[in-house]
Structure 1
Amino acid sequence: MVDDEIRALAAVLLERVGELAKEIATRIRGALNDYDAVPEEELEEACRTHYGNALQTLAGQAPLDTDTTARIGRRRAQQNVPLPSVMTAYRIGVKYFWEVVVGEATASSLVGSDQLVAADSAMWELQDKVTEAVVSGYHDAVAQRLLASDQERSALVEALLAGRSMETDAVWSAAEALGVPRNGPFAVVAAEVPHIGRQALPEVAAILSRRGILSAWRLRPDIQLGIVYLRTPRDLDVLVEVLRHQAERRVGVSPPCDDLYLTGDDLRLAKVAMRAGDAGSGAVTVFDDCPVAVAAAGAPDVMVRVVTSVLGPIKALPASERELLLDTLDVWFSCGGSAEEAAKRLYVPSVGDQRPRCSSSVIVWG
């Protein structure tokens, strides 16, 4: 890369590498507050490593060590030093380093102008490789941290939805880690994946977050699950809107529950709602909005909730009205759900005029 004169100059500067590293570290710390997170000795050691290796390379004593440079980049990411600040620190170091090279060359007369031009080209080539290694190491650390965070969040969602025994403190800790409130209402979402291991609702957490809705998700081989915090009643409508836009396969949404501890119970209801949709479609079924479809896809114990939500108000009626409505319902069922046929069967003649018995009931049930 360089001639003998530059190698000789680099060898001379190697003897001063400790002094150079200390000065570069001082300049970086004075210019960048973000480097307060980096211990003083560690920063000096990093500068000594970087510029010592660069001088060794220019002197022909060792190849450029990009592995060590990448480790330093990973370390800065772990210390939460922003990448732009890391790049600025390197520019500060290179600027000072080149000033020293030029000063030493002028003072010692070891090299002339032509050799300095060659040295400049060689130094920037080295710096490009160093920068590439630093950025690569930094991005690797960020990716690993995000992956670890995602895995932790996924495990917490799994623990809540699997109905595992969790103490109250553990549930609260899970809520804090997931970034959702301790108290609801919450809804559980179950989405059928298009292929094994592939997300059914890509980027759904980010999309909901932009709409002001907090959520946490877990991907299983055949289903993607989510816990969604419904801050306002309107949030359920927004959730369904987003799901309908994103879904490729069936999606089910559970009834809201107020306790994060109970989301495991609601998972089953979300799955029942999902199965109520047409297979192969992107249908989004909300459990409480489709009682007939849910009843068809559910189990006997699920029917208890359906009956309670659909027929519950009848219990509050006077006995005579309740009996009238249930009789009408019985006729409607016996007519295969035909309101017209049920009306004919319920048509009862009276003195002077003929009126359909329970016509309003037929309308209600039909």
Structure 2
Amino acid sequence: MAARGRRTGDDWKLLTEACGALLERLPELVDEHLRGLVGHSPFYGHFLPYDQQWREAEDAMRIGIETMIAPRDSPRLDLECAEAKGRRRAQQGMPLELLVHAYRSAGYLVWDALLEGAAGREPARLAALMRSATTVWTAIDEQAAAATESYRTTELELRRRTDEQVQALLDALLEDRRTPGLAARAAAGLDLPEHGPYAVVVLRAERREPFHGPVRGAGYRFLWRMRADSEVGVVALGPDQGLDGVAALLDGWCAGPGGISPVVRGLAELGLARRLAELALRTCPPDAAKVVRLDQRMPTALVVSQPELADRLVTEVFGALLELEPADRAVLLETLEVWLTCEGSAGRAAGRLYCHRNTVFNRLRRLEQLTARSLARPRDLTEMTLALDAYRLRAAG
């Protein structure tokens, strides 16, 4: 807190007399002050009833004038008043610049009134008033600074509380709580439409540094929430936006693994979307470097959603294969996986495996013998494909 200016005994006496005269004119000064504020911005006339504004302005101006002539060791009631006003204005939503303008405006009004009271009198009175200018303006500056600091502190606290409430709404949606009116409240709190296309993204937590807060990219809006083992993002899609763009954007941001849900049609379905995104993530092995879409991983998703049946499928399809030496088994399964990736082309598979295409054919025939299934029969091919997915995910887990 800045010290009050030095004053001689005569200066103190003359300033006290001048301030006393101002206090007698206080109702007139308050009226003029409020007219000036409304003239500067009509907002002043809307945020509070006029009677309440008048009482608050009268109280603040009276305390401010009394402070200028109070003993040096007296409590700074003007700063307490300014702090309280700063809190109230932040809670009422008044812009900070209007609050500061109100203090500056009141300061100029008081100073002009002091000069007006000294005009036409003996020169000593005007000289004493000018020597007191530092005292007057220091008090006004301190009041404006106290109100500003209190306003900003309150604004930050209100923003923190609002953020916590918004995050709680988002959590409730993702946890699929069936609370009446939840989606509507969340739409208002999150500034999102209650009905519209959304998707949910679940990213494995250890993959990289987490996102914080809302993220926008390529016209998409993301809202992120950290969990113990994952990071969950809600994606608001535009009318012409789809999941291809979301997947491409996420692949550019992070190396995966992650899962993207199918599109749902409103905030009330985010809980379902979160579960489906988690299912998509479960189709990724731990070393996966991509963010995958559930609608492109449906067969694997069916496998991982039924772990007991998946284990039985591996045993039924790969029973004899599992009895081979690990190195031999790995070669055969790798050949099957590459052949499937190459859409059944033995020539392309051979290029990836660095072997002759006849070698690929020989390995595939051996797989058919060990599994008692034919890769030429669609049902057998489906079983072997699903069993391979289940085996890879079980081994990774």
Same fold (TM over 0.5): yes
| Alignment correspondent of 1:312 | none
The equivalent position to 2:38 in structure 1, one of 18, 26, 29, is 29
Displacement of 1:19: 3.0
> What value does the CA root-mean-square deviation take over the aligned residues?
4.0
**For 2:49 and 2:363, how far apart are their aligned partners in 1?**
88
In the alignment, is residue 286 of structure 1 matched against residue 296 of structure 2? no
Q: Which amino acid aligns with 2:64?
A: A
Q: Which amino acid aligns with 1:337?
A: E
- SS of match in other structure, 2:211: coil
- SS of match in other structure, 2:119: helix
Compared with structure 1, are the counterparts of its residues 257 and 60 closer, same or farther at alpha carbon in structure 2 (3 Å cutoff)?
same
Compared with structure 1, are the counterparts of its residues 334 and 129 closer, same or farther at alpha carbon in structure 2 (3 Å cutoff)?
closer
Residues 300-339 of structure 1: pairs in structure 2 closer than 5 A: 300=306, 336-339=336-339
| Alignment correspondent of 1:343 | 361
Q: Which amino acid aligns with 1:271?
A: E
The equivalent position to 1:12 in structure 2, one of 10, 21, 29, is 21
| Alignment correspondent of 2:190 | 178
In the alignment, is residue 55 of structure 1 matched against residue 53 of structure 2? no
**For 2:204 and 2:298, how far apart are their aligned partners in 1?**
20
Residues 1-366 of structure 1: pairs in structure 2 closer than 5 A: 1-3=5-7, 4=12, 5-36=14-45, 37-61=47-71, 62-64=74-76, 65-106=78-119, 109=122, 112-167=125-180, 169-193=181-205, 200-203=210-213, 205-208=214-217, 211-232=218-239, 234-244=241-251, 246-247=253-254, 250-274=257-281, 284-289=291-296, 298-300=304-306, 336-339=336-339, 340=346, 343-344=361-362
Displacement of 1:280: 8.9
Structure number with bigger Rg: 2
Is the contact between residue 11 and residue 59 of structure 1 (CA under 8 Å) also seen in structure 2? no
- SS of match in other structure, 1:207: strand
Displacement of 1:29: 1.8
Is the contact between residue 198 and residue 266 of structure 2 (CA under 8 Å) also seen in structure 1? yes
Equivalences, count? 322
Unaligned 5+ runs, structure 1: 305-331, 348-356
Displacement of 1:86: 2.4
What is the TM-score when the length of structure 2 is the normalising length? 0.66
**For 1:282 and 1:70, how far apart are their aligned partners in 2?**
54
- SS of match in other structure, 2:337: coil
Is the contact between residue 74 and residue 138 of structure 1 (CA under 8 Å) also seen in structure 2? yes
**For 2:273 and 2:110, how far apart are their aligned partners in 1?**
63
Displacement of 1:59: 0.6
Is the contact between residue 6 and residue 111 of structure 1 (CA under 8 Å) also seen in structure 2? no
Compared with structure 1, are the counterparts of its residues 254 and 121 closer, same or farther at alpha carbon in structure 2 (3 Å cutoff)?
same
Of the structure 1 ranges 137-146 and 233-242, higher mean CA displacement relative to structure 2 is found in 233-242
What does the per-residue CA deviation read over 1:118-159, in whole Å, with 9 as the maximum and x for residues that have no partner?
322222212221121222222233223322322222122111
**For 2:137 and 2:65, how far apart are their aligned partners in 1?**
13
**For 1:236 and 1:70, how far apart are their aligned partners in 2?**
50
Is the contact between residue 169 and residue 182 of structure 2 (CA under 8 Å) also seen in structure 1? no
Displacement of 1:231: 2.2
Unaligned 5+ runs, structure 2: 311-331, 340-345, 347-358, 366-374, 389-397
What does the per-residue CA deviation read over 1:34-86, in whole Å, with 9 as the maximum and x for residues that have no partner?
11222212222232233222212211154433232122122223333222222
